[in-house]
Amino acid sequence: MGKPPPGKCSQEVCFGLLVSFVLCLVLLCLNHSTSLGANNWIDLSMSKQVRPIGVMKINNTEDSCSDRYIYIHDDLPSKFNSDFLINCKSISAGISSSSIPSMCPDLVNLGLGPKIENSDGVLANESWFITNPYLLEVIFHNKMKKYECLTSNSTLASAIYVPFYTGMDASVHLWDSNLTIRDSSAKNLVKWLSGQPEWKKMWGRDHFFVSGRTSWDFRRVRDNSSEWGSKLRFFPESMNMTMLSMEGSLWKNDIAIPYPTSFHPAKDSEVVQWQNRVRQQERPYLFAFVGAPRPHLQGSIRGKIIDHCQASTTCKFLHCGENNCHNPVNIMRVFQSSVYCLQPRGDSDTRRSAFDAILAGCIPVFFHPATAFSQYLWYLPKNHTKYSVFIPVRDVKDLKEEGIIEKVLQGISKDRELAMREEVIRMIPKLVYADPGSRLDTPDAFDIAVQGILERIENVRKVIREGRDPSIGFAEGDGTKFTFPDTVD
SS3 letters across 20-53 = HHHHHHHHHHHHHHHHHHHHHHHHHHHHHHHCCC
451 Cβ neighbours under 8 A, 6+ residues apart: 443
Residue 147 · residue 450 · CB < 8 Å? yes
What single DSSP character describes residue 70?
E
Residue 367 · residue 391 · CB < 8 Å? yes
**What's the pTM?**
0.86
What single DSSP character describes residue 477?
B
Q: What is the dihedral of CA 94, 96, 99, 103, to 10 degrees?
A: 40
How many C-beta neighbours within 10 Å does residue 333 have? 18
7 Cβ neighbours under 8 A, 6+ residues apart: none
Q: Which amino acid is at 295?
A: P
| 215 three-class SS | helix
What's the CA angle centered on 408, arms 407 and 409, to 5 degrees? 95
Q: Where are the domains of the chain?
A: 70-260+444-465, 268-431
Long-range contacts of 440-449 (CB under 8 A, 24+ apart): 440/265, 440/267, 440/268, 440/271, 441/268, 442/268, 442/271, 445/257, 445/258, 445/379, 446/140, 446/143, 446/144, 448/257, 448/378, 448/379, 449/140, 449/244, 449/257, 449/378
What single DSSP character describes residue 125?
S
Domain 268-431 has CATH 3.40.50.10140: no
Cα separations in angstroms, 356 against 41, 259, 432, 455: 54, 9, 10, 28
Instruction: Give pLDDT tens digits along the chain (489 positions).
Output: 444 444 444 445 444 555 455 454 444 443 433 333 333 222 222 222 333 333 444 455 578 999 999 999 999 999 999 999 999 988 876 644 445 568 999 999 999 999 999 999 999 878 999 999 999 999 999 999 999 999 999 999 999 999 999 999 988 888 889 999 999 999 999 999 999 999 999 999 999 999 999 999 999 999 998 899 999 999 999 999 999 999 999 999 999 999 999 999 999 999 999 999 999 999 999 999 999 988 777 778 999 999 999 999 999 999 997 678 889 999 999 999 999 999 999 889 999 999 999 999 999 999 999 999 999 999 999 999 999 999 999 888 899 888 999 999 999 999 999 999 999 999 999 999 999 999 899 999 999 999 999 999 999 999 999 999 999 999 999 999 999 987 666
What single DSSP character describes residue 251?
B
Residue 263 · residue 359 · CB < 8 Å? yes
Q: Which amino acid is at 94?
A: G
